[in-house]
Amino acid sequence: MNESRIKHAAYLDKIQTPEQASKIIKHEDVLGVSGFTKAGDSKSVLPKVAERARHEKLKVTVLSGASLGYDTDADLAKNGALYKRMPFQADPTLRSSINNHDVLYVDQHLGQTADMLQSLDSFKIDVAIIEAASITKDGYIIPTTSVGNSPIFTEKAEKIIIEINTTFPESMAGIHDIKLLKKQPNREIIPVTHSDTRIGEPYIKINPEKVAAIVFTKVPDCPAVISSPDEKTTAISNHILNFLEKEVHEGRLTESLLPLQAGIGKTANAILSGFKNSPFKNLTMYSEVLQDSTFELFDSGKLLFASASSITVTEDCSKNIFNNFDKYKDKLLLRPQNISNAAEVIKRLGVIGINTAIEFDIYGNVNSTHITGTHMMNGIGGSGDFARNGYLSIFACPSISKEGRISHIVPMVSHTDHTEHDIDILVTEQGLADIRGLAPVERAQVIIKNCVHPMYKDQLLEYFNDAYKLGGHTPHDLEKAFSWHMALKTHGSMKTPELIYN
Amino acid sequence: MNESRIKHAAYLDKIQTPEQASKIIKHEDVLGVSGFTKAGDSKSVLPKVAERARHEKLKVTVLSGASLGYDTDADLAKNGALYKRMPFQADPTLRSSINNHDVLYVDQHLGQTADMLQSLDSFKIDVAIIEAASITKDGYIIPTTSVGNSPIFTEKAEKIIIEINTTFPESMAGIHDIKLLKKQPNREIIPVTHSDTRIGEPYIKINPEKVAAIVFTKVPDCPAVISSPDEKTTAISNHILNFLEKEVHEGRLTESLLPLQAGIGKTANAILSGFKNSPFKNLTMYSEVLQDSTFELFDSGKLLFASASSITVTEDCSKNIFNNFDKYKDKLLLRPQNISNAAEVIKRLGVIGINTAIEFDIYGNVNSTHITGTHMMNGIGGSGDFARNGYLSIFACPSISKEGRISHIVPMVSHTDHTEHDIDILVTEQGLADIRGLAPVERAQVIIKNCVHPMYKDQLLEYFNDAYKLGGHTPHDLEKAFSWHMALKTHGSMKTPELIYN
C-alpha cells in the first residue's frame, strides 16, 4: 500500500482489500472495466469477481476497452461469471465459451462502444473497475498503460472501484489526454490535427461520490509475448516498405509518410519494426496500441511521436520504458479509444492503417474475425475504424499455413468484416496487390498474381475463370464459393475442394 | 443562348455547340462529369460523346458524382464508349454491360471518390464536363441541382467544358456551399456543426485558363419517377415512426430527433413522407439527395432545413420548387459529396440514416448491391457513409417479392456491403428488429421473429436451429448458406432450397 498515491483525502477511508471490493458487484450487474490489449486492466478486483462466481450465483456483463490480461477473461468464462462480453476479447478459454454459446459476445468496432453507451441507455453500467497510477487532489483518476473506454464507463457507472497499481511510476501522470465527448446533438468537433495535439485533461474526471472502494495492487501488466520477425513476416514487411518507397518516389507521399497505425500481434509488430531500416524519417503514429516496435522506432530515431489508447509491450520492453520514462514521456499520448479510433481524426490525419487478416478473397473482401465463417477468433478490434477512414488501408497475412492445408486467399471470404469498398492494399509474403481504383475482375487478377501461394494459384485461377463464364460484375459460383472451407472442415485441406463439389 | 449568364467576358469567345465541344474529348480520356442521382448532369455534351462513339473509336473512363439522367449512361454503354465507370450508376443498359464484362465498374462509397482522386494521381482527369446555372465575373461556376464531385474534377482536370443550362433560374446562385478540402497532411477540420452551417463559397472556384468550351443547353433535369407510397412502404414507414416515437418517449431522442438522411427510391421517399403526419417537429436533414418528400415536409412545416449534394424530384415537384424558389432558397444547401457524406460530419451531427437493402441476413449483414451475389444492381452509393457513421443506422426492404418467390431475409447475404457491426435497425413491412448491443444469436431470433414473412419464418428458423447445433459464435452451415439463392436461380423460388441441399 502506498497511500501517498491518493491525493484526495476523502478517499482514504474507502480503501478495501480486493476481496472486499469485489463484493460490491452483484449478480446481473453490468461492469465497465479498464484494460485495452492486456494493458491497464484490473488485476485484483476482477479476478476476485471470477473467483466468487465459482462458489455463488454471479453472472455479469463485462464491457472493457479491449482484451484483458492474464487469465481474467478465462476465469470469468470458466466459472460461468459471464452473461455477455463486449467489445473485444482474445482469450482461448473465453473464445471456446463464446463459440459454444455459453457466453454472448458483441464484437464491436473499438471506436464505437462509447457512442453506443451514450445513445443506448439500456446498457447502464452498474460498476466501473478502473486501474489507476494515482488519484489527484480532486479525486480524479490518473490511468496507467491504457485509457480505453474508462472515461465513458466512469461517467455512466453508478459505482466506481479504483485499483491503484503501484508497479507503475507516479510519473506516468501527464501522458494521458482525456476528453469525454458530448452526446449528439451537442457533439463537439474533435480538434486533433496532429498525432500530438492535446485536447483534454491528463486525468479522468469523475464524481468522487461514486467511488465505492479503492484497492491497491502490485501486479504488473500481463506482458506481451511477441515472436521475433521470421522469414514470412519480414517478407511482408519488405513488400509494404517497397510499396511505400514507390509512393514517395512518385510524389504521392513524403519521406515522413503519414501517421502510421498497426494492429496487434507478430505480423503487425514485424512490419513496424521494418521501418527501422527504411529510408523514411520523422515518422509519427496515430494508432490504438503501441507495441515493442514503437519503442524500437523511437530508439532508432525514426519516430517522432506516437498517439494510441494503450501500451502493450514485452517484459523487457516494459522495464526499458519505465526505467527510462523521461526519455519517452514527451513522445507519447494515450487517448480514449473513441478518440484514438475516431473516424474524424483518422480521415483528417490520413492514417496509413496496417492490419492483419484471417483470410481475404479474390475481390478484396477481408475476414478478420471468424474461422470458417462461424467460429470467433478474437474480434474486429479497431481494424475497421482505421481501414475505412485511413489514407491507405493495408491488410496482411501469410499466403498459406498448416503446411499448405490452408490458403488464406480464398474464392469468397466465409465472413466479411471489411468490404471490397474499403481495401487499398493486400499483402502476403508472396507479394503485394494494389487494388485502388480497380473493378472486381481486375482485382481478382492482381490478387491471384501477386498474393497467392504457388500451390494454390492454379486452383484459384480455375475458380475465377469458371465463375467469370457465369457472368456478373463480381463473378462467383455460389455452389463452390465455400468449397475450400468445406474441404478443410471435412478433409483437412483446402487443396481438395473437388471432393466437395464433384 | 443567354450570354448574360456569363459574367466573365473572356469566356464569351469560348462558346461552342455541344457537338463542337464534344470533340475536345479524345480516345482513352478520363472524364469527370457533374451529375448526382440524375440531377445537374451534362445533357448535351456527354450525349454527343456517346453519339461520336457510334461512328469512331472512342472509349473513355467516366467518373461522375453518382447516376446520370436520361439515356446518357445507356448510350455510352451501348455505343461502346465506356472503358471504366465510377463511382455509381443506376441504368439498366449500363448495368447489363457491367455484368457482361463489357464495362469495368468501380462501385465506391460516394463520400470517398474525391479522397481517392487526391491520393491517387494515376486517376488523372483529362476533361471535366460541368453543368452550370451561370458563371461569375471571375469565371467561377454556379452549379445547378447538384454539386457532387465537380469541385475535385475541375481542380484536377486539364480542360473544363461548362454546360450552361438555361432551364434553371439564375437565382439558384447562393444555395451551394463549396469547399475543396486539402490533401493530407494538410487536411483541415470540416467545421460543419449543424445542417445549415456554411463553410465555403457559393461557386466552384476554377482556373479560367482551363476552360476549353462553353455550351448552352435547354434540357431540364431528367425527372424522377416515384410511385406513391403503397401498403408495404407505408407499413415500413409506420414501423420506423413508431420506433422513433418510442426513442423519444424513453428520453433517448428529442421530438426534433437528429438530422435525417434517406436514400433514393420509392421506399426511402415513402418513409420520409410518413414524417408529415408524425408528432415530430423542427426536423432537419443532412442527406445526400433530396426527393419530393423533402419538399412535402417543408410545406407541412415539419422540416426546418435540408443539406444534401443534389435535388432529384419529379416534374411536378420541380415546377413547384423553381416557381416558388424564394420560399425554399433559405432552407437548402447543396454541398460537395465528400462533405455531405463526410464521416466526420455524419458522426458529429448524429445523423439518422435510413437506407434500403436488397437483402439482409439473420445476423444483420446487409447486401445493397449484388443480385444473388454476382450481378450488380446499382451500387453502394452513400449508404455506407451514413450507415457506419450515423447515430442510428436503419435498413429497410420488403420481406418478400415476386409473389413470395424471393425472401429478402436470407440465411447468409450473398454479398456483404454493410457488416453486422454497422447495423442498428432492420425493418420490413412485417416489423422492426432493434439489434443494437445484441450478439449474433440474439439478433437472429429478433430478426426472424419481427422481420421475416410468415411464409419463410419456419424455413429460416430451421436453418438457424440446424446451424446452431453445429456451434460457433455466428452459426452457419456453409453447405446450405446459399441454398436459397441457388434454389431461386435453378428452380425459380427460395421456397425450395431442399431441392438444392438434399
> What DSSP string runs through B268-321?
HHHHHHHGGGSS--SEEEE-SEE-HHHHHHHHTT-EEEEEESEE---HHHHHHH
**How many CB atoms are closer than 10 A to CB B442?**
15
Q: Quick: pLDDT tens for B194-209.
A: 999 999 999 999 999 9
pLDDT at res. B38: 96
| Helix (H), strand (E) at residue B363 | none
What pLDDT, on a 0 to 100 scale, did the predictor assign at position A241? 97
CB contact under 8 A, A375 and B416: no
Report CB contact under 8 Å: A348, B188: yes
The answer for residues whose C-beta is within 8 angstroms of residue A295's C-beta and 6 or more apart is A313, A317, A320, A321, A328
Domain B231-458 superfamily per CATH: Glutaconate Coenzyme A-transferase (3.40.1080.10)
The model's pLDDT over B292-339, given as tens digits with 9 standing for 90+, comes to 999 999 999 999 999 999 999 999 999 999 999 999 999 999 999 999
β partners of residue B162: B130, B214
Per-residue pLDDT at A500: 64
Residues of chain A contacting B375 with CB distance shorter than 8 Å: 471-473
Specify the DSSP element, H or E, that contains B371.
Answer: strand B370-371
Q: What is the pLDDT of residue A269?
A: 86
Minimum distance, in Å, between the CA of residue A128 and any CA atom of chain B: 18
In whole angstroms, give the CA distance from residue A147 to residue A179.
11
Residue A359 annotated in active site: no
Single out the residue of B481, B476, B483 nearest to residue B497, CA to CA. Answer: B483
DSSP assignments along A324-343, one per residue: SHHHHHTTEEE-BHHHHT-H
| Percent of chain A at pLDDT exceeding 70 | 99
* B64-80 pLDDT tens trace: 999 999 999 999 999 99
Judge whether residue A35 has pLDDT over 80: yes
Per-residue pLDDT tens for A262-296?
A: 988 888 889 999 999 999 999 999 999 999 999 99
- The Cα of A140 is separated from the nearest Cα of chain B by a number of Å equal to 27
Distance CA A416, CA B99 (A): 22
- Rounded distance, CA B147 to CA B340, Å? 10
Interchain contact, B105 vs A185, CB within 8 Å: no
DSSP symbols for B1-35: --GGGB--GGGGGGB--HHHHHTT--TT-EEEE--
Mean of pLDDT over chain A: 96
Alpha carbon distances (Å) from A135 to A14, A34, A129, A199, A220: 13, 15, 14, 21, 18
Q: Which residue of A has its CA nearest to B101?
A: A473
Instruction: State the pLDDT at residue B265.
Output: 83
Cβ neighbours, 10 Å, residue A259: 26
Q: Report CB contact under 8 Å: A122, B437.
A: yes
- Average pLDDT, integer, range A83-101: 98
Using a 10 angstrom Cβ sphere, with 0-12 exposed, 13-18 middle and 19 or more buried, the burial of residue A231 is exposed
Say if CB B333 and CB B174 are below 8 A apart: no
Partner-chain contact B120 A189, CB within 8 Å? no
What gap in Å lies between CA B306 and CA A12, rounded to an integer?
Answer: 55
Per DSSP bridges, beta strands B134-135 and B141-142 are antiparallel
Tens of pLDDT, residue by residue over A58-74, are 999 999 999 999 999 99
- Confirm whether A3-217 and A253-477 share one CATH topology: yes
pLDDT at B500 over 70: no
pLDDT tens column, B128-162? 999 999 999 999 999 999 999 999 999 999 999 99
- Catalytic-labelled residue, pool A288, A359, A420, A429: A288
Tell me the count of A-B CB pairs closer than 8 A: 221
Residue of A nearest to B254 (CA): A185
Mutant choice from A359, A421, A435 vs B, greatest count of B C-beta within 10 A: A421
Eight-class DSSP state of A192: -
Q: Cα–Cα distance between B152 and A114 in angstroms, integer?
A: 34
Q: Is the pLDDT of residue B4 over 70?
A: yes
Please answer yes or no on whether A476 and B373 come within 8 Å at the CB atom: yes
pLDDT band at A501 (very low <50, low <70, confident <90, very high): low
- Nearest residue to B278 via CA among B259, B303, B261, B251: B303
Q: What pairs with residue B211 in β-bridges? A: B160
Cell triple for residue A423? 481495401
The pLDDT, as a whole number, for residue A1 is 58
pLDDT in tens, A429-464: 999 999 999 999 999 999 999 999 999 999 999 999
Q: What is the pLDDT of residue A265?
A: 83
Q: Nearest residue of A to residue B250 by CA position? A: A121
pLDDT at position B308: 98
Exactly one of B131, B288, B420, B429 is catalytic; name it: B288
Is residue A91's pLDDT more than 90?
yes
Cβ count within 10 A of residue A228: 10
In sequence order, what E strands does A99-148 have? 104-105, 127-132, 134-135, 141-142
**What CATH architecture does domain A253-477 belong to?**
3-Layer(aba) Sandwich (3.40)
Tens-place pLDDT, residues A357-385: 999 999 999 999 999 999 999 999 999 99
Contact list in A for residue B98 (CB cut-off 8 A) is 473
446518357: which residue's cell?
B72
Chain-chain contact of A473 with B188 (C-beta, under 8 angstroms): no
Place of cell 509519427: A284
Best mutation target among B421, B445, B485 (most A Cβ atoms within 10 Å) is B421
- Please report which confidence band the pLDDT of residue B121 belongs to, taking 50, 70 and 90 as the band edges: confident
Q: Is the distance from CB of B364 to CB of B397 less than 8 angstroms?
A: no
Contact A495, A455 (CB under 8 A): yes
Q: Is B358 annotated as a binding residue?
A: yes
Domain layout of chain B by residue ranges: 3-217, 231-458
**B3-217 has which CATH code?**
3.40.1080.10
B375, B418, B420 ranked by CB distance to A472: nearest: B375
ipTM confidence score: 0.97
How far is the C-alpha of B150 from the C-alpha of B340, rounded, in Å?
Answer: 13
Q: What are the chain B neighbours of A481 within 8 Å (beta carbons)?
A: 373, 482
Question: Of A367, A480, A474, nearest to A419 (Cα)?
Answer: A367
Among the listed residues A39, A102, A55, the one whose alpha carbon sits nearest the alpha carbon of residue A74: A102
Give the ranges where A120-265 is alpha helix by DSSP (H). 150-156, 231-249
Please report the pLDDT score of residue B496 as a whole number: 80
pLDDT of residue B171: 94
Query: Across the interface, do B479 and A473 touch by the CB < 8 Å criterion?
Result: no
User: Which residues, 6 or more positions from A498, have their beta carbon under 8 angstroms from its beta carbon?
Assistant: none
Residue A445: other Cβ atoms inside 10 A: 15
Contact (CB, 8 A) for B161 and B317: no
At B440, which helix (H) or strand (E)? helix B440-451
In whole angstroms, what separates CA B44 from the centre of its chain? 23
* Mutate which: B99, B182, B184, B345, vs A, most A CBs within 10 A: B184
Per CB-CB distance under 8 Å, the chain A contacts of B475 are 374
Residues making up the binding site of A for CoA: 358, 378, 382, 402
Examine residue B185 and say whether the peptide bond preceding it is cis (omega within 30 degrees of 0): yes
